[in-house]
Amino acid sequence: MADNMQRANWKDPKLLKLYFDACIEEDRSGNKNGNVFKKRYWDIISNSIKEKKGLILSQKQLKNQWDYLKKKYGIWEKIINKTGNGYDPITNTVGWTSEEWEEYIKVHPDAKQFRYVGLQYADEMNALFDGIGATGKDAWGPSMEGQPSCPPKNTTIVDVDLDIEIPSSSVSPANIELSKHKRRRTNKEEIIDDHILEVLKNLKESDQPNLEECLKVLDDMFDVNDPLYSIAGAIFCDNKANREWWMLLSKKTFEARKQWLLVVGKKMGLI
């Protein structure tokens, strides 16, 4: 290690947040060369960490951490994509039996690290390694409190006046028509709405449970103008596991479902 370089303690959550924020910012700007950043952008990330934490890190240190996190995310992704994964987004754990875990670990020994605790910073890694982050105004960036967020810190969702027209005869995501929005929106609201619109265009009906089923439960809880309605839509569109869990919660109390939306919404940086 060069004399002016310092050792990185990647267990420090503040350092990890700075790292993720800087990487996602460059990713949003379209500065990746394939799956990694070009050298000059690693320098930008290094300078950002130096400016905010006073820590000088080399490109090698930053790239090694990138490779480590990408591998870790790949292990977690296989678990989550497994049919009947039993993932609980509230506890961030996978509820397999001991026998199921033992069998899976025999084939995937690296998965042992997730037996009792889920992946931390999953949203940030998803944004970086799955390409959820886009460029420009549609970008899905780093969040407050260690979750993805590119809007300004301390932004709150206020004065939401959604005007979404959902045809009563068919709620097929491919055919949903959305009218022009007339509202005062924060930057965070724009990200939520744009993300929903983009996913609605591409979501396949075969990806059960589909959005129509989730919306039926949601419509019984909130008016379309309620901020949580928009947040719930973003949660449903984010992944299949969220929709599965929501349908399991459909038989629970109103407060239980509302609390789940608040917890997951905060984790995703939507609140």
Verify that 167 and 245 share a domain, yes or no. Answer: yes
pLDDT in tens, 50-84: 999 898 999 899 999 999 999 999 999 999 888 67
CA dist., res. 174 & res. 205, Å (int): 8
CB 257 within 8 A of CB 264: no
158 and 205 inside one domain: yes
Look at residue 185 and tell me if it is in a domain.
Answer: yes
Partners of 33 in the β-ladder: 36
For the residues 160-181, what does the mean pLDDT come to?
43
Q: Does residue 108 sit in the same domain as residue 165?
A: no
Distance CA(231)–CA(213), nearest Å, equals 17
Give the model's confidence band at 161: pLDDT under 50 very low, under 70 low, under 90 confident, else very high: very low
Asked whether residue 1 is domain-assigned, the answer is no
Joined tokens for residue 118: 């889920």
**Do residue 115 and residue 158 come from a single domain?**
no
Share of the chain above pLDDT 90, in %: 17
Give domain status of residue 129, yes or no: no
Choice among 136-150, 206-220, 255-269 with the minimum mean pLDDT:
136-150
Looking at 80, 108, 123, the residue that finishes a domain is 123
Model pLDDT, residue 188: 54
Q: In angstroms, rounded to a whole number, what is the distance separating the alpha carbons of residues 155 and 173?
A: 29
Give residue 187's pLDDT. Answer: 58
Question: Residue 61 and residue 170: Cα distance in Å, rounded?
Answer: 52
CB 45 within 8 A of CB 37: yes
Together in a domain, 263 and 175: yes
Using CA atoms, how far apart are residues 236 and 215, in angstroms rounded to an integer? 9
* 66 domain residue, yes or no: yes
For residue 262, is it within any domain?
yes
Q: pLDDT grade, residue 99 (50/70/90)?
A: very high
Q: Write out the residue range of the structural domain in which residue 57 sits.
A: 13-123
101 and 26, same domain (yes or no): yes
End-of-domain residue from the set 108, 123, 138: 123
The H-or-E segment that residue 77 falls in is helix 59-80
Please report whether residue 144 resides in a domain.
no
pLDDT at 157 over 70: no
- Calpha distance 121→258 (Å, rounded): 23
Is residue 4 assigned to a domain?
A: no
For residues 157 and 263, state if they share a domain. yes
Helices (H) and strands (E) in the chain, counts: 10, 4
pTM for the full model?
A: 0.48
Contacts of 252 (CB under 8 A, 6+ apart): none
In a domain, residue 230? The reply is yes
Number of domains into which the chain is organized: 2
Pair 96, 175 in one domain: no
What's residue 171's pLDDT? 44
Same-domain pairing of 165 and 114? no
Chain centroid to CA 161: how far? 24
Instruction: Clarify whether residues 158 and 113 are in a common domain.
Output: no
Q: Which of 51-60, 123-132, 134-143 has the lowest mean pLDDT?
A: 134-143
Q: Which of 63-67, 137-141, 176-180, 207-211 has the lowest mean pLDDT?
A: 137-141
- Please tell me whether residues 78 and 175 are part of one structural domain: no
